[in-house]
Structure 1
Amino acid sequence: MASLDPVLDKDGVQLTVDEAIATVTLTNPAKRNVQSPALWRALAEAGRALPGSVRVVVLRAEGKSFSAGLDRQMFTPEGIEGEPTFIDIARSGDAELDATIAAYQEAFTWWRRNDVVSIAAVQGHAIGAGFQLALACDLRVVADDVQFAMRETSLGLVPDLTGTHPLVSLVGYARALEICATGRYVQSAEAVSTGLANIAVPRDQLDDTARDLASALLAAPRDAVIETKALLRGAQERTYEEQRAAERAAQARRLRDLAGVGD
């Protein structure tokens, strides 16, 4: 990756910007990029810090693993210094508990914004929260050593970091249930064949492949990509007739913009 001055560099998250392409890097390879509330706050801050010029965001990670999931210290009575433990969270009132989880989810939501296309470049382990972070992105390029797994159910929990919706959308209900309930590994060949990943490449080609995909996405006019992403993201929630109408409205906006005709 090119050496650029970081826009943000804190709590295991670094954001750099190279004109229309932003790169978010997980930077704690010694701990396999485990996740914590501080990392989630930094990821959310990265989303807020994106300049308006950015059209594509590449999410990557240093080291052998993309992310091994939650920092297990969160499960201990001592927890992580300065953060509530899971026991503390469980003992809070309904509204506070809901707000705490909602705040954690913010790290996983902005990748779906219509004004950017997000690409996760995933190698090695992407477990639990790591799997869900990869699922938060629009596209996934994976190394041939990738191992996705959703381990929350084995811990007596559920995937709650926005991963269930994209997982079902990509692989269907039955396979999503099986993946989550068993906690098994999904490797590169299955990831590509089921739609979890767009392409699998050798590990040493991962960053270059993600960068090439980012460059290809910049070839089309920005507003056309924004409208197309919005159409495709909303297609499952619309009826056929509603989607037809949405297509007509989007195309009308594009035609008028290209012709220089106001509304």
Structure 2
Amino acid sequence: MAYENLLTEQKDRILYITINRESKLNALNRQTLQELNKAITAAIADQSVGGIIITGAGNKAFVAGADIAEFAGVDQQGGTAIAREGQSNVFDLIANSGKPIIAAVNGFALGGGLELAMACHIRIASDNAKMGLPEVTLGLIPGYGGTQRLTQLVGRGKALEMILTADMVTAEQALQSGLVNAVVPQTELLAKAEEMTAKILSRAPLALAAAIRSVNAAATDGVNGFETEITEFGQCFSTADFKEGVDAFLNKRKPLFTGK
């Protein structure tokens, strides 16, 4: 499918989604969010896609934030709708995907851009990346899950510091706080994301999805994460991949998982 603001390319089982608004530092306008919803929904349903890498076009920015021009003149009801639709249609869609989604963060990841990266399961940053949630400088707060996911990743104190000061952090500071999983030179960013995605995709697909659901349950209100883990663990025993994995282990060979 052709998109106006996204570039998509599939190599083997990895789908690459590049947010392609370089002149706007890849800011997330309404159309880009709609296209992300369509691209990710299609990838989740496509059996040939095992995992997704999301990045931004150019060297300056992953995503420099939401397109603030679209916020002008919006009232309280409209602002609530922007946040609710964005979270449901894009950010929660990514976080709850049973297929691993990795953010390759190049350059600035600010506001909605950092929220997009945080919704992904794993974040790889280039050494020139800078991240932050500057919404309070506009009289706003993060609205795409930023207050929740940043707290989960770096803890309450650091999350409040970043949100209330609106200060950016460097890639190394993000690594130290647990905001990103790895930092590499910019020229190696996609290669590192590909390497990690390929390693993940060598594992059992149904087990990967079960693991994501179980980890997500830890941060879901009203859900007992331990019970989720127990249930998901038990269900793995009914899969052909489990039988293949055990047989491969016992016979000292590489498993051939089929996602069944």
Cα separation, 1, equivalents of 2:13 and 2:187 = 24
Residue 62 of structure 2 is aligned to residue 66 of structure 1: yes
The 3-state SS of whatever aligns with 1:256 is coil
Deviation at 1:259, TM superposition (A): 5.0
**Amino acid aligned to 1:171:** V
Cα separation, 1, equivalents of 2:212 and 2:68 = 36
Match of 2:84 among 77, 84, 102: 102
**Contact 2:27–2:65 (Cα < 8 Å) also in 1:** yes
What residue in structure 2 maps to residue 175 of structure 1? 158
TM-score, normalisation: structure 2: 0.84
What residue in structure 2 maps to residue 3 of structure 1? none
**CA 1:143/1:180 → structure 2, altered by over 3 Å: closer, same or farther?**
same
Residue 147 of structure 2 is aligned to residue 164 of structure 1: yes
Residue 116 of structure 2 is aligned to residue 133 of structure 1: yes
**CA 1:164/1:249 → structure 2, altered by over 3 Å: closer, same or farther?**
same
CA deviation vs aligned residue, 1:9-29 (integer Å, no higher than 9, x gap): 22x212222342111101121
**Contact 1:34–1:69 (Cα < 8 Å) also in 2:** yes
Unaligned runs of 5+ in 1: 1-6, 75-84
Cα separation, 2, equivalents of 1:97 and 1:192 = 32
What residue in structure 2 maps to residue 4 of structure 1? none
Cα separation, 1, equivalents of 2:81 and 2:65 = 21
Q: CA RMSD in A?
A: 2.2
Deviation at 1:97, TM superposition (A): 4.9
Deviation at 1:162, TM superposition (A): 1.8
Residue 24 of structure 2 is aligned to residue 31 of structure 1: yes
CA deviation vs aligned residue, 1:28-69 (integer Å, no higher than 9, x gap): 212211221111111111122212332211001111211221
CA deviation vs aligned residue, 1:93-145 (integer Å, no higher than 9, x gap): x4x65334322332222111242111000011111111111111110000001
Unaligned runs of 5+ in 2: 245-260
Deviation at 1:249, TM superposition (A): 2.1
Q: How does 1:91-240 map to 2 (within 5 A)?
A: 94=77, 97-105=79-87, 106-237=89-220
The 3-state SS of whatever aligns with 1:227 is helix
Residue 40 of structure 2 is aligned to residue 47 of structure 1: yes
What residue in structure 1 maps to residue 254 of structure 2? none
What residue in structure 2 maps to residue 77 of structure 1? none
**CA 1:68/1:246 → structure 2, altered by over 3 Å: closer, same or farther?**
closer
Cα separation, 2, equivalents of 1:28 and 1:43 = 13
Cα separation, 1, equivalents of 2:210 and 2:142 = 30
Cα separation, 2, equivalents of 1:148 and 1:119 = 16
**Contact 1:8–1:46 (Cα < 8 Å) also in 2:** no
**Contact 1:148–1:186 (Cα < 8 Å) also in 2:** yes
**Contact 1:134–1:140 (Cα < 8 Å) also in 2:** yes
Provide the aligned length of Structure 1 versus Structure 2.
238
Cα separation, 2, equivalents of 1:26 and 1:32 = 9
Residue 16 of structure 2 is aligned to residue 8 of structure 1: no
**Amino acid aligned to 2:39:** A
**Contact 1:8–1:16 (Cα < 8 Å) also in 2:** no
Cα separation, 1, equivalents of 2:130 and 2:153 = 17
The 3-state SS of whatever aligns with 1:215 is helix
TM-score, normalisation: structure 1: 0.83
Cα separation, 2, equivalents of 1:30 and 1:253 = 48
**Contact 1:153–1:183 (Cα < 8 Å) also in 2:** yes
Deviation at 1:237, TM superposition (A): 4.3
**Amino acid aligned to 1:146:** A
**CA 1:237/1:39 → structure 2, altered by over 3 Å: closer, same or farther?**
closer
Cα separation, 2, equivalents of 1:153 and 1:238 = 26
Cα separation, 2, equivalents of 1:238 and 1:73 = 34
**CA 1:128/1:236 → structure 2, altered by over 3 Å: closer, same or farther?**
closer
Residue 86 of structure 2 is aligned to residue 86 of structure 1: no
